[in-house]
Structure 1
Amino acid sequence: MTEPTPAARPQAKPVVPVVLLALAAAGLWASSRMTWVTVHSADGLTEPRTDDLNGGVWFGALTPLALVLVAAIAAVFAVKGALRQLLGVVIAVIAAVAAVPGFALTVGAGRTAERAGTLAELPVRAVVSSAETHLAPAILSIVAATLALIAGVLLTRRGAPSTELSGKYDNPVFRRADASAQVTEQRKDGDAAAPLSDRVLWDALDAGTDPTDDEHDNGEPGNRTP
């Protein structure tokens, strides 16, 4: 009997986190191109002025964060194990940062009119008459950040159970003990037992249990046909 080589167990691919990261990056990029705030101003000398501030202007890091998430997709496939879990933590932090400006604008936190006037680079004599906020792009950025956060959490948790089971399977002590137990169980079941694989038979032999020895668990010899 030739001892077989254990078959390699394919690892599950992180499809769901990658899809979530792609959607999150697309959402942040789209939000950065949309108008977040429309500011109206006048300086008393010229016609009233209207400026549209998109997400990239309102929050300068929005577009770079979208690019970081795109790079994270490649990193997910490049690293494994603890490094992938660490990457998940980094992605979760990035997602939290990306959600802050959209959340602040949605709830009306901060001095929106004053900030809009500064970002619009108005003349010193200009006075902001009103600042109109657009919630749709802000909410889109929050949704995109949430998707990235979920992806990060999945990456931090992914592979832990399978790694533990794989380690137990690869440990010869556990594998041989399990094989010995399967041989013993087969003897109890008799003819109704399912046939064991060559891998199990070899591991049982290594554990000191002879699969060809027709003995019961209590050590008494079984009936043999001459």
Structure 2
Amino acid sequence: MTQPTPSKRPLWTVAVLLLLGAAALWGASRLVWSAEQHDRGVRGVVLETHTGAQVQGALVPLAVLAVAGVAGAVATGGWPRRVLGVLLALAGLWACWLAVDGLSFGGFPAGTPGWQIFTGRGLALLGGILVLLGGLIATRKAGSMPRLGARYAAPSVKKTARDPDTELWEALSEGEDPTDR
């Protein structure tokens, strides 16, 4: 019984989900996440805004982890890919938690950019969900996704060439002089 040929679709799906999730997390780190009005004496009441990176410093590292997860998903297979998928799913859950942690649905003071706060946190939530889905798919479909080819694996048994010309070219590729035979 032969094994079915691995489909590239789940691997592409994981890569796209992780890259989109990383972009969303990075973008959310640049947007407004909180705003407060402070009385500054002579200057009056001043609105201070804080970005996602200032409020939740883990957004950018989670985005970097998601990008690294793409390389890990492509380079690994089997159990290492499943472990990577679980790690990415946990990172996605963490990003979702960071997005909703401290979110207030109450009224904002006048002049507070409420829609900007919800946009920044919503983008982080979307990024977390995308990374979570990428990790779950990588875990579930780890066996059916293609691995790096045998070209990148350490040679265990030397192949025998079928054609004499091919044998000469392989000898040249390995650094041998085929004319010394």
Calculate the TM-score normalised by the size of structure 2.
Answer: 0.67
1:194 is aligned to: none
Question: Which of 127, 130, 147 is the equivalent residue of 1:144?
Answer: 127
Cα deviation for residue 107 of structure 1 reads 5.2
Deviations 1:162-201 (A, max 9, x none): 89xxxxxxxxxxxxxxxxxxxxxxxxxxxxxxxxxxxxxx
The whole-number CA distance in structure 2 between the counterparts of 1:35 and 1:103 is 14
Work out the number of aligned pairs and report it. Answer: 141
1:11 is aligned to: 6
Q: Which runs of 5+ in 2 are unaligned?
A: 147-181
Deviations 1:31-52 (A, max 9, x none): 1111111221014354332222
Match status 1:53 vs 2:50: yes
Cα deviation for residue 59 of structure 1 reads 0.6
Cα deviation for residue 103 of structure 1 reads 1.5
Distance 1:98 1:162, change over 3 A: closer
Distance 1:162 1:33, change over 3 A: closer
Q: Decide which moves more: 129-138 or 70-79.
A: 129-138
The whole-number CA distance in structure 1 between the counterparts of 2:14 and 2:145 is 17
Match status 1:88 vs 2:85: yes
Contact 2:28 2:52 in 1 (8 A): yes
SS of structure 2 residue aligned to 1:50: strand
The whole-number CA distance in structure 1 between the counterparts of 2:71 and 2:144 is 24
The whole-number CA distance in structure 2 between the counterparts of 1:162 and 1:45 is 64
Distance 1:54 1:23, change over 3 A: same
Calculate the TM-score normalised by the size of structure 1.
Answer: 0.54
Contact 1:31 1:55 in 2 (8 A): yes
What's the C-alpha RMSD, in Å, of the aligned pairs? 3.1
Cα deviation for residue 92 of structure 1 reads 0.6
Contact 1:28 1:145 in 2 (8 A): yes
- Aligned residues: percent identity? 26
SS of structure 1 residue aligned to 2:6: coil
SS of structure 2 residue aligned to 1:37: strand
2:97 is aligned to: 100
Distance 1:12 1:136, change over 3 A: same
